[in-house]
Amino acid sequence: MRVFKFGGASVKDANGVKNVVKVLQEVGYENTLVVVSAMGKTTNSMEAIVDAYFNEKANLPSKIQEVTEYHASILKDLFPNKEHLIYQRVKELFDEVKGFLAWNKSPNYNFVYDQVVGYGELTSTSIISAYLNEIGMQNTWLDVRTLIKTNNIYRDTTVNWEKTQEQISEKVNKKVLNITQGFLGSDDNNFTTTLGREGSDYTAAILAYCLSANSVTIWKDVPGVLNADPRYFKETQLLNKISYKEAIELAFYGASVIHPKTLQPLQRKEIPLHVKSFLNPKNDGTTVGKGNGIEPKVPCFIVKKDQVLMKLSSLDFSFIVENNISDLFKLFHDYKMKVDLIQNSAISFSVCVDNRFGRLQELLDTLKSRFKVVHQEGVSLYTIRHFNTEAISSLQNGYEVLLEQRAKETVQLVVK
Ligand code: ASP
Ligand code: MG
């Protein structure tokens, strides 16, 4: 059996839903489980509802109205018959959201978030399942919350694999077309939990693992995994094959390929992951699987913009590494700076960090009491996997290189 995943962008409007139908018709849909995200940017809109509930109650009705109208317009395009039961079903789902918020007594933001935000996926899958049935593609709608069991750390939950396996073995009929939600699970009290933003790929991997599926396909608006982000690079190339290990390496350096969490369960059972275009479903796209490296073997470029480069040296010319390195890493951790790269010499230590939580000034103040600190903001970190001289010089031309570090397969450049 196969697991498919369609993201929000692929079902952002009625045409998107019709295109899902086209993909399924082209590639077949027997023994298939389809995981779907919330439509378009619905998860952001659901987050805005939660935010209004806690911080700006007066805005709550209009925020709910916005999401309701968005789905109503998609429904109108897909179901000309206004008496269709799906209209009632979608209304019920939004009534549940309103009811929950009206009765809720919990001040726990993360708990409320998980109870509310998941309605994006519950709604999208209800609409898609009904539409498929309507046009004669019989399918079973599954509530993924009855399948994926988790702990109760809301918004960042951990899967209980044993219980999940039990539920899936018991409840999923592999022989039919199943439609279910990405992103969601439930705890021991059956409260909804979420797997973290962009968690639907991980859902597909969890289900594939427990079903021992033959493959997972993520359908995207790009032809597959490219060797560079087309937003920043003019020439990009499609990668045909990537090994699990290489995909994890690329993700580690910041490529938004596929989240390592998604790869782990697949790698354990050696289930191949296909990344394909939902516009050209017959094209091969990219396969992540067993094996080595990448194919074709071309340099892969990963860029992280808006990083901070710091050079620290000791005030008294003592060796910085031996005496201070563990303290330094503790500070980076405490101030939530993700360390991208380090380089040290006898008396200085350079580090490139991601100031994601905006706590740079606080950190600098602390550091300056103990070290001489020179820092530069707004630098970019380029990583090239499988580099060659041409790839490196393509970056050296036009940028000022502040720091360079080479390993066997990887070169990293901090540039301004
Ligand atoms: N809908 C969720 C999000 O936007 C999960 C996903 O799309 O993977 O984060
Ligand atoms: Mg989404």
User: Which residues have any ligand 1 atom within 6 Å of their CB?
Assistant: 7-8, 37-38, 43, 120, 182-183, 197-200
Strand order, beta sheet including 348-354? 338-344, 348-354, 300-314, 371-385, 410-415, 401-406
Domains in the chain with CATH codes: 2-220 (3.40.1160.10), 300-415 (3.30.2130.10)
Q: What is the average pLDDT score of the chain?
A: 95
d(Cα 245, Cα 232) in Å, to the nearest integer? 25
Report whether 43 contacts 117 (CB < 8 A). Answer: yes
Q: For residue 411, report the distance from its CA to the centre of ligand 2, in Å.
A: 33
Question: What are the pLDDT digits (tens) for 192-249?
Answer: 999 999 999 999 999 999 999 999 999 999 999 999 998 888 889 999 999 999 999 9
CA distances from 400 to 18, 133, 255, 302, 379 (A): 48, 58, 23, 17, 10
Please, which contacts does 257-264 make with residues 24 or more away whose CB atoms are closer than 8 Å?
A: 257/225, 258/201, 258/218, 258/225, 258/288, 259/198, 259/201, 259/202, 261/202, 261/205, 262/201, 262/202, 262/204, 262/205, 263/205, 263/288, 264/205
Neighbours of ion ligand 2 (CB under 5 A): 8, 37, 43
Q: What is the pTM of this model?
A: 0.90
Segment holding 295, helix H or strand E: strand 294-295
Q: Side chain identity at 258, as an amino acid letter? A: I
Q: What is the pLDDT of residues 126-151, one digit of tens each?
A: 999 999 999 999 999 999 999 999 99
Residue 202 Cα: closest atom of ligand 1:
8
Most ligand 1 atoms within 8 A of CB, residue of 12, 35, 183, 192 to mutate:
183
My answer on whether omega of the bond before 272 falls inside 30° of 0, hence cis, is: no
Would you write out the chain's pLDDT as a tens digit for each of its 416 residues?
A: 999 999 999 999 999 999 999 999 999 999 999 999 999 999 999 999 999 999 999 999 999 999 999 999 999 999 999 999 999 999 999 999 999 999 999 999 999 999 999 999 999 999 999 999 999 999 999 999 999 999 999 998 999 999 999 999 999 999 999 999 999 999 999 999 999 999 999 999 999 999 999 999 999 999 999 999 988 888 899 999 999 999 999 988 888 778 889 999 999 999 999 999 999 999 999 999 999 899 999 999 999 999 999 999 888 877 766 668 888 999 999 998 999 999 988 788 899 999 888 899 999 999 999 899 999 999 999 999 999 999 998 888 888 999 999 999 999 999 99
CA–centroid distance, 258 to ligand 1, in Å, is 14
User: Phi and psi at residue 306, in whole multiples of 5°?
Assistant: 60, 50
Please name which of 156, 228, 202, 174 lies closest in space to residue 5, comparing C-alpha atoms. Answer: 202
Ligand index nearest the alpha carbon of residue 194: 1
Per 3-state DSSP, what percentage of the chain is helix, strand, and coil (rounded to 5)? 40, 25, 35
Tokens (6 digits) for 208: 């594939």
